[in-house]
Amino acid sequence: MIPITLPNALWSDADAETEALLDAWHVAVGDRVSAGQTIATVVVIKAGVDLQAPSDGVISAILVPAGETFARGAQLATLQQ
């Protein structure tokens, strides 16, 4: 299983207490995805960012639902290769 998280580079302008918002999932559990495919939209410090699949596989779990906030390093979903 591959954990899906928001890349650290996207947190570069955020302080340690900043949380991001998972705005929308563009996939569902069981969907097959390709590396680089947009799977979600998140908002970090008022900027919308597309989250991309790290590799080919199947979304096996969505751990942070749309509309929820999450902290730096939080696992958002898992991908099964």
Give the pLDDT score at 63.
Answer: 97
- Is the pTM above the cut of 0.95? no
User: What are the pLDDT tens digits along the chain (81 aa)?
Assistant: 999 999 988 888 888 888 999 999 999 999 999 999 999 999 988 778 899 999 999 999 999 999 999 999 999 999 999
The CATH number fitting domain 2-80, selected from 3.30.70.100, 2.40.50.140, 3.30.60.50, 2.40.50.100:
2.40.50.100
- Count of C-beta atoms within a 10 Å radius of residue 20: 24
Distance from C-alpha of 57 to C-alpha of 64, rounded to nearest angstrom: 19
Between CA 51 and CA 57, with CA 53 as vertex, the angle to 5 degrees is 155
Give the pLDDT score at 37.
Answer: 97
Give the pLDDT score at 16.
Answer: 82
Give the pLDDT score at 54.
Answer: 94
Q: Quick one: the chain helix, strand, coil %, rounded to 5?
A: 5, 45, 50
Domain spans of the chain, in order of start: 2-80
